[in-house]
Structure formats: C-alpha cells, structure tokens
Amino acid sequence: MEKVEFEFKRLPNVLEQTTDSIMITNTEGVIEYVNPAYIRSRGCRPNDILGKKGGSTHIQDTSADFSLKQVHARLEKGEIFQEIRIRRWKNQTPYYEELTVTPIVDEAGKITHYISTGRDITKQIQEQEKLYRLAYYDLLTQLPNRALFLDRFTHALAGMRNGVKTLGVLYLDLDRFKNVNDSHGHDAGDKLLIAYAKRLVESLREVDTIARLSGDEFIILLEGMTSIDDIDLICRKILKTLSQPFSIDAHEHIVTTSIGVSIYPRDGREVSVLMKCADIAMYRAKRAGRHTFKFYTPEMGKNGMHDSEMEARANYDTTSGKELKRIGR
C-alpha cells in the first residue's frame, strides 16, 4: 500500500518532467490540465487554454476526423493513435506529433476524462518529406519529375474506368534554348528554366500535372478533357503565355516552345506509347517551323517516318541542347 501511495504521489512530478506533451480534459472537452512540455510545444501560456473547451479540437490544421464528437465515438472502441499536424499558438509554424488519446474511467467503468499524449516527430516527418521530394521532384524547377508523372498517369488511368472522358499528353521543348546557354551561361539558362516552369504552372489548372523530364523538355498530363478542341485551346494558351519576354539578370529573353500532343485512348493506352507519340509530334512541330503544336497522327508512324523521327531525335543531345549531327532544334 505504501509503495502504491508513493508512486501516486510521484505521478504529478512525472507528468511535469516528461518531454511528451500531455493534456487532460473532461468529457465535455474542457481542458483541466496541461504539462510544461505541452506549453512549450504549443508556444502558449496555461491561461490561454486552461478552463476552455479544446479537447481533441485543440489540434489545428488537421482533418475533421478530430472533431470532439467523432473523437468520443472513436474512443468508445479504445484509444486513438494518429500522426497529426499542428500549428503553434502564436507564430502559426507547423509541427508534427504522434498523438495518443486515452479515456480515463472511474471505479464503475464510466469515462470521466480523456488524456492526450503527444510526441514531437517533426524531424522524422521533415526527413521523410525531403526524401520524397528528392525521389519525385526536379531539384531545379521543383516540378514533378518523370517518376511522379508516371505515378499520376497511373492514377488518371484508374479514373478513366469511372467514366472520365479523355487524357491529353503534351510534350514541350524550348526552341533554341542552346543559344541562351551559349550566350549568357548555364546559370542564366537555369534561371530561365525556373521562370519558364513557374509561368507554365500559372497558365494551367491545378489538376494538370506538369513535369520536367530533362534539360529543356517538359511534359504535361491534361485530365478530364471533353474534346480535342479543349486541348487545342490549351496549347494555344501555353504558346502565347510562354512567348512573352523573360527578364533574367537584366537581360530580356524571348523563347518559343514546340509542343507535341497525343490523346488517350486514340493514340495509345500505355503511358510509354503516348509519351513516344507526343515526342514524335513535338519533333514534327520543330520541323514545321517551331513555336507551334502538332497532334500525333498515324501517318507519322507510317512508311518509316516513325524511325526517321526517332533517329533525328537521337542525333540531338536533349540534355545539354547541343547538336550532334543535325541542325539543333
């Protein structure tokens, strides 16, 4: 008995010294206790929250899963364990916690309080996000890379089974980008690519996926298109937007773009086929005088044209923009 009493007396001291944030509320969600770790993690003062309704709704910037009513319903089945994103009280900076919410019951088995315990996992989440960005985003432009584009395409195809109309794949290449690198240096070329990517994002919808493949080559996935006319209008808008001057290091650069377009399912049902078709059509746009767009047609793959187009592409170093055998794009 003495040992039990001794442990009970030590409990408040343990709560005060633990590095985990702890909050205790009554069944109505009124906050009755928070420990120093909770105050430090939230960046608030005890008077800011004690005696006020918070409960599990003290979690900011998270999903509606944590409304008080829903939390109580879930707690009837046992404790809750979940990763959450929170914003600090004063400066609103975000951080992450592993949160456990456990009901406290009396001798009759009736719930009297809830205790929330949070462990800061911000560093782990940030490391995960960093690794994700390295794996799926282009370091220069911060656009999705080829891997993320392929993943988005896979999800888009899954949506096609639910009656989504058609998909458009746009293959973009800057015209004569090599001249910028040669005349102003690769640093200016990189800045131009960053500005180009930003303007490209601003000219399209949020639902569209824009990825950088390599060098000065970009690819776009257009979802939910109702007709080819819609894609035609988007291509014209892109050409107009991107042909406006770019100001880089006090120099004005006017660059144009050539675009090749392929359509799902008309031109193919696999992403590799559609990307190849769009690439061939893009090269045809180059040959047509640049600063234009071409839809892929079956004729482009007939009578050896497909092989000759790909051979011409192979004779051009798309990463550095250098000509190998033929005149550059």
| 9-18 per-position pLDDT tens digit | 566 777 888 8
Q: What is the reported pLDDT for 44?
A: 84
Average pLDDT estimate for 177-186: 85
Indicate the pLDDT class of residue 82, thresholds 50, 70 and 90: confident
Percent of the chain with pLDDT over 90: 42
Quick one: which of 167, 172, 143 has its CA closest to 153?
A: 167
Residue intervals of the chain classified under CATH 3.30.450.20 are 2-126
Flag whether pLDDT at 23 surpasses 70: yes
Strand-strand pairing, 217-225 and 166-174: antiparallel
What is the rounded average pLDDT of the residues 97-120?
A: 87
* Fold exhibited by the domain 137-323: Alpha-Beta Plaits (3.30.70)
Residues carrying CATH 3.30.70.270, the chain: 137-323
* Residue 71 pLDDT: 59
Quick one: pLDDT band at residue 5, thresholds 50, 70, 90? very low
Q: Which of 138, 216, 267, 279 is labelled catalytic?
A: 216
Contacts 24+ apart (CB under 8 A), 228-234: 228/263, 228/295, 231/168, 231/170, 231/261, 231/263, 234/168, 234/170, 234/204
Q: What mean pLDDT, rounded, does the chain reach?
A: 81
Q: What is the DSSP letter of 46?
A: H
Question: Following CA atoms 24, 28, 30, 31 in sequence, which dihedral angle do they give, to the nearest 10 degrees?
Answer: 10
CA distance 28 to 113: 9
* Percent above pLDDT 70 for the chain: 78
**Residue 177 amino acid letter:** F
Q: Which runs of consecutive H residues, i.e. helices, occur in 222-299?
A: 228-242, 271-287
| 201 has pLDDT over 90 | yes
Q: Give the tens place of pLDDT for each residue, 290-311.
A: 999 999 999 887 654 455 455 5
The H or E element spanning position 153 is helix 146-160
What DSSP designation does 237 have? H
Q: Hey, what CATH topology would domain 2-126 get?
A: Beta-Lactamase (3.30.450)
Strands (E), 133-244: 166-174, 209-214, 217-225
**pLDDT greater at residue 8 or residue 39:** 39
User: How, if at all, do strands 209-214 and 80-87 pair?
Assistant: unpaired
- What average pLDDT score do residues 271-298 get? 95
pLDDT-derived band at 162 (thresholds 50, 70, 90) equals: low
Whether 216 is catalytic is yes
